[in-house]
């Protein structure tokens, strides 16, 4: 069983979860069911991934009690604004087939229309107060945007989900999160985005430093990267559609990296993100309607 991290509101979240970005709906039920079978208890999806319904079906098919699974999803920017975000919750909960969402995030700051971002966050606060979500948070909030959110709202986010992998570790973002008591949750935790969005010669999976550490422990590069997150106190949500990788990516609780190994992985940070600049997310460039449940 994965270890738990206590969020700033006392709710416990499994440190290691399972992501489903780019998992086609037709593969999502099987992937989620397999992840739950091998021990994951946190599933990270998003309204914009188009597979919330199948995540819900996968959880249902697992035979686990609803309370045994921590469900995390995210509102898309088209559903920002107070009333829109409340409807966005209804859409996500309806597709997931649940009454309560464990952690609901704003997927991106809409910096060009921060009033709508604040409105959406105010809706999250209302959902939290009403018990419809157990925790609330954000994603892709850089420190100055997070600071602004904190001054304009009441409940500090429990989580800030950001791009963190050995090639882009965002230490200043992690530092700001820590100062505000916000858990850093790593997206693309194995640097998958360096493979599928970057050039093939710059993949974390084939990095020689990570490879040497993996060989020393009889583990894979993926397992070493996930262990690095856990030992540095982050939550991580690796994605795979392949059963053997789903299982291997969860098999990270029987070894430990040394302080020197952690430092060698930290030193791989290039400071160059692979994902989009958070400020570049606008309605014009990324807007898309989220269907009703």
* Choices 33-41, 172-180, 185-193, 264-272 (CB under 6 A): range interacting with ligand NDP: 185-193
* Angle between the N-to-C axes of helices 52-62 and 25-38, in degrees from 0 to 180, rounded to the nearest 10: 40
Q: 17 or 81, CB closer to ligand NDP?
A: 17
Q: List the interface residues with ligand NDP, window 106-145 (CB under 6 A).
A: 107, 139-140
* Choices 2-10, 84-92, 122-130, 182-190 (CB under 6 A): range interacting with ligand NDP: 182-190
- Shortest distance, position 237 Cβ to ligand NDP, whole Å: 5
> Residue from 141, 188, 230, 281 that binds ligand NDP (CB under 6 A)?
188
- For the question of residue 49 being annotated catalytic, the response is yes
Dihedral sign for Cα atoms in the order 240, 243, 244, 249: positive
> Residue from 78, 230, 240, 261 that binds ligand NDP (CB under 6 A)?
240
- Shortest distance, position 154 Cβ to ligand NDP, whole Å: 23
Choose the catalytic residue: 40, 49, 80, 167: 49
* Choices 146-154, 169-177, 237-245, 250-258 (CB under 6 A): range interacting with ligand NDP: 237-245
Contacts with 234 (C-beta within 8 Å, 6 or more apart), sequence order: 15, 164, 174, 183, 184, 185, 186, 189
> Residue from 76, 168, 187, 228 that binds ligand NDP (CB under 6 A)?
187
Residue 21 makes contact with ligand NDP by CB under 6 A: yes
Q: List the interface residues with ligand NDP, window 161-180 (CB under 6 A).
A: 161
Q: 184 or 220, CB closer to ligand NDP?
A: 220
> Residue from 58, 157, 189, 229 that binds ligand NDP (CB under 6 A)?
189
Structure tokens at 117: 């971002």
* Choices 54-62, 76-84, 191-199, 257-265 (CB under 6 A): range interacting with ligand NDP: 191-199
Q: List the interface residues with ligand NDP, window 25-44 (CB under 6 A).
A: 44
Question: Alpha-carbon distance 277 to 132, whole Å?
Answer: 31
Q: 131 or 141, CB closer to ligand NDP?
A: 141
Q: List the interface residues with ligand NDP, window 71-100 (CB under 6 A).
A: none
Residues at the site binding ligand NDP, with contacts judged by CB under 6 A: 19-21, 44, 107, 139-140, 161, 187-193, 196, 205, 220, 222, 237-242, 245, 248-249, 275
Q: Which residues are catalytic?
A: 49
């Amino acid at each position: 069983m994965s270890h738990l991290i206590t969020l700033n509101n006392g709710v416990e979240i499994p440190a290691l979860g399972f992501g489903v970005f780019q998992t086609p709906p037709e593969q999502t039920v099987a992937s989620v069911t397999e992840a739950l079978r091998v021990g994951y208890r946190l599933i990270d999806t998003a309204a914009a991934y188009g597979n919330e319904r199948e995540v819900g079906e996968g959880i249902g098919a697992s035979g686990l009690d609803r309370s045994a699974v921590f469900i995390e999803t995210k509102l898309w920017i088209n559903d920002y604004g107070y009333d829109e975000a409340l409807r966005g919750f209804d859409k996500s909960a309806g597709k997931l087939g649940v009454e309560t969402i464990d952690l609901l995030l704003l997927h991106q700051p809409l910096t060009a229309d921060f009033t709508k971002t604040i409105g959406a966050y105010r809706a999250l606060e209302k959902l939290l107060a009403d018990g419809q979500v157990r925790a609330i948070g954000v994603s892709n909030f850089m420190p100055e945007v997070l600071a602004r959110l904190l001054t304009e709202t009441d409940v500090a986010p429990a989580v800030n989900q950001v791009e963190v992998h050995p090639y882009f570790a965002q230490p200043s973002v992690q530092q700001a999160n820590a100062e505000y008591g916000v858990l850093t949750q790593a997206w693309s935790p194995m640097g998958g985005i360096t493979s599928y969005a970057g050039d093939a010669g710059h993949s974390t999976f084939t990095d020689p430093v990570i490879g040497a550490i993996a060989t020393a422990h009889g583990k894979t590069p993926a397992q070493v990267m996930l262990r690095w997150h856990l030992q540095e106190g982050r939550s991580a949500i690796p994605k795979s559609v392949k059963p053997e990788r789903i299982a291997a990516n969860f098999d990270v609780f029987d070894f430990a990296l040394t302080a020197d190994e952690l430092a060698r992985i930290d030193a791989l940070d290039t400071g160059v993100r692979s994902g989009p600049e958070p400020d570049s997310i606008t309605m014009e460039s990324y807007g898309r309607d989220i269907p009703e449940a």
